[in-house]
Structure formats: C-alpha cells, structure tokens
Amino acid sequence: MVRAMAADRKPWLLRTPKRWTHFRSVPMNRLWVLMAAVFLLFSVIGFYVDLTSRGTLPYAVVLLIAAVSGLNAALWIIVLARLPVIALVGLAVLQFFTGTFDRWASDRLAQAFHVLEVPSEKGIAFASTGIMVVVIVSYVFFIAYIRREGRESFRLRNELELAHGMQKTLVPPIALKTRRFEMYGVSRPSEKVGGDLVDALALSNGDAIAYLGDIAGHGLSAGILMGMLKTATRTALLDAAVTESGSTLPQLFERLNRVLPAVKEPHMYATFTAFRLNADGSVFYAMAASPPILHWQGERRALDRLEEEQYPLGLLPVSGFTGDTLQTAPGDLLVVATDGILEVCDRHGREFGVDSLEEAIAGHVARPLPELAEAILAQAGAFGKQIDDQTLLLIRCLH
C-alpha cells in the first residue's frame, strides 16, 4: 500500500504502464522468446515492402528493412514491460524517423557495396519465401512462449487454489456464543487470498476474545502475513484466562508489535481491533489504527462511534498501547468493519463510508447476526465494486 501510494505520486511520464504488469513479471530469460517471435513477425514488413516494389529491391536492403521493423516491434515489448511512460513517448517519436533511416541506410549500402536491383521474378520469389519462413519460425517461437507461460500459469493457479483453501481454513466464518455475548464474523477477500482476519475464541473461565485485523495490501503476501498474525495472536492468548482483564489486550498489542517486524516486508503493517468479553458482562476493547467501532445502544436506538488514535501494529518500534472499558447493556450491538467495506466507491467516486454503514446497521439491527452481516455486505456491493478485502465482526450483548 505504501509503495503503491508512492508510485501514484510520481509524475505521469515517470510511471510504468499498469496494463502490462504480466510482462513486467516475466524474467528476461523467458521474455526473450516472445521478443524473438515479435521480431520475426514484424520483420515481414521488409519483405512486404519488397513485394510492393515488384521484388526489385536488393536483398541487403530488404533484410535491413526487415531487421529494423523487427527491432522496432521488439523495442515496444521492452518499453511496455520495463520502462516508464516517457520511454513510450520517445519510442513513438523514433518511429517517425524509421522510414528516413531506412532510405538513408539503403542509399549508403548501394553506394558502399555497389548493390544492384534484383530481377523482379527472383525478388518476388525471395520476398515470398522470406515471408513464409519468418511467419513459420515466429509461430514456433509464439507456441514455445505460450507453452512455457501456460505451464507457469497452471502452476501458479494451482498454488493460488491451494492458498485459497488455506485462506478459507484460516479465516472461516466465525460464530461463537457465550452466556452474555453472541459473536459473528465473516471475511470476503478481493482476490483468491486476502489479508483480513476475523476470529473469536472462548476462554476456560467463560470469557471470550474476538478480534479483527487488516494487513495493509492484499493478495498472497498479505495472506501469508495474515496467517502469521493469527498464529501469533492465538499463541499470545493461551494464558488469557488467567490474565487480568484490563491488561490482556494492551499486552497482546505489545507482543504483536514486537513480533510482526521480523516476519514482514518493511512497508507492511496491520490494523487491529480486539474485544475481551467477560462472563460478568463487562467489555474491554483496544484499537490500533483501525476504523471506528460502531456501538448500537438498544435502549436509545442510536449509534455511537468509538475511535482511538494508536499506531498500527508492526510499523514502528513503539510501546504503550492502551485499552478501555466499554459500557454495554442487553440488546446492544458492536460492529467493526475493515476499510474494504468503508472505501467502496460508486461511479461518482463517493465512498460508502461510516455513515452508510450506520444506515445499514440501523435498518437491519433486529435480524440475526449472519443475516445482518449479509445485509451490510449486500448494501456495500450495491453501492460499488469490491476492490479490497471486506471483513465484518458483529457482537451482540444478550443479558
């Protein structure tokens, strides 16, 4: 996310075209096969020019035009795959001089080597044979590239399917109920693998802990870090039943903030919201750079927003994370959503936002938690296209 933001701040001419990301990911030891195929295919132009001249161009001139045409086409592949937009502009300008260069080089060849015109019949036969040969050879190179990339794509697809299965195992829909609270959570990744996490666990003393995390970014790298985050969280909470309720979550945040930097890329971090839901009905919560907690108060039939300014986890070597107590009553509802829901945009660029989320909650608050979650996600989906992982954690206070 940080790198993407930095890239967006670059001047337009210095940005790399986004539509050619596949070619940027292909190593040069595989990309050269495609470049050779493109070179051969566009070298046909040289033979075509000879045919339009009725086969009278000298062989050296025909081969020169073919080579220049093929190199131009191969250069487009390199520029589109590796270089910024300004290089595209430069290459486009270069095309205007290609014809002039061809004529100049042809004249120089004729003068230096006394190259003569070729008899028409021989020239046509040469050009026709050349077209047939380069088309066949370019076809062979294209097939070789497609087969190699096809195998690689098949392998990656299998790995993504495996990762998707692991994602569903690591972040299944959660449904947990204690004597005082009912919890439900669901996560919908924007890709095969996502970086959002929602989880809940019952403690041996009758308390429960529910939490929601969001790794900056999405895709496989975020999914891997998400799995590590869940493992670290569950491990840190092994002794939570005997930990003083008010210190459980701050201690958890301190541990995670120390552990994450060793297993992540420098630009990655996690936002995190966690609750300790005690058997006596008391609620403790802590937040780390996450969207607000929405608290529906049943008696008032109104929503409050709980926000707290703390650093995200794993980004900076800071300490002093804090938590707080939340006063709840039977019939209250707590809702936390990741920014993948809040930042959905309509066609005019307007965000779904917290206000729309509050409207969705107020309109369906009486429904069972799974139905409420589906209603919120459906309303966000109707508002705009999903571009990031979308995760919800709902907690209802019972009695």
Indicate which CATH number applies to the domain containing 207.
Answer: 3.60.40.10
Is 323 in the same domain as 177?
yes
Tell me, yes or no, whether 85 and 197 share the same domain: no
Full residue range of the structural domain in which residue 139 is found: 2-163
> Lowest mean pLDDT: which of 192-196, 204-208, 232-236, 390-394?
192-196
Cβ(267)–Cβ(216) under 8 Å?
Answer: yes
Task: Answer yes or no: do 38 and 139 share one domain.
Answer: yes
Decide if 287 contacts 275 (C-beta within 8 A): no
Residues 22, 131, single domain; the answer is yes
Q: Please, which pLDDT band fits residue 278 given cuts at 50, 70 and 90?
A: very high
Q: Return d(Cα 319, Cα 334) in angstroms, integer.
A: 27
Number of domains in the chain: 2
Q: Residue 58: what pLDDT?
A: 84
* More confident call, 315 vs 90: 315
Reported as a pLDDT band with limits 50, 70 and 90, residue 8 is: very low
Residues 294, 355: one domain? Answer: yes
DSSP conformation class of 61 = H
Q: Are residues 310 and 341 in the same domain?
A: yes
* 149 to 20, 132, 137, 343, 366: CA distances (angstroms): 15, 26, 18, 35, 52
Q: How confident is the model at residue 62 (pLDDT cuts 50, 70, 90)?
A: confident
Which whole number is the average pLDDT over 184-201? 89
Q: What b-and-e string marks burial along 174-189, b requiring 16 or more CB atoms within 10 Å of the CB?
A: bebebebbbbbbbbbb
Same domain, 304 and 335: yes
Same domain, 150 and 198: no
Domain boundary among 163, 192, 210: 163
Q: Do 175 and 159 fall into the same domain?
A: no
Q: Are residues 148 and 183 in the same domain?
A: no
Backbone angles phi, psi at 251, to 5 degrees: -65, -40
Band of residue 255 on the pLDDT scale cut at 50, 70, 90: very high
Q: Collapsing DSSP states into helix, strand and coil, what is residue 350?
A: coil
Burial profile 235-269: b = 16 or more Cβ within 10 angstroms, e = fewer: ebbeebeebebeebbbbbbbbbbebbbeebeeebb
Give me the chain's average pLDDT, please: 85
Residue 57 is given by DSSP the state S
In this prediction, residue 22 carries a pLDDT of 63
CB burial class (10 A; 0-12, 13-18, 19+) of residue 104?
A: exposed
For 69-89, what is the mean pLDDT? Answer: 73
Q: Between the CA of residue 340 and those of 150, 193, 219, 344, 357, what are the distances in Å?
A: 32, 14, 13, 6, 12
Per-residue pLDDT at 3: 39
**Given 163, 190, 208, which residue is the final one in a domain?**
163
Q: How would residue 222 be classed by pLDDT, with cut points 50, 70 and 90? A: confident
Task: For the chain, report the end-to-end CA distance as a whole number of angstroms.
Answer: 42
For residue 201, give both structure tokens: 């666990």
Between 262 and 114, whose confidence is greater?
262
- Tell me the C-alpha distance between 223 and 22, whole Å: 21
Q: Residue 43 gets which letter from DSSP? A: T
CA distances from 333 to 21, 224, 304, 358 (A): 44, 31, 11, 12
Compare 37 and 165 and report the one with higher pLDDT.
Answer: 37
- Regarding whether 199 and 122 lie in a shared domain, the answer is no
Residues 138, 221 share a domain: no
Domain boundary among 137, 163, 189: 163
What pLDDT was estimated at residue 6?
Answer: 40
Residue 57 to residue 61: CA distance in whole angstroms: 6
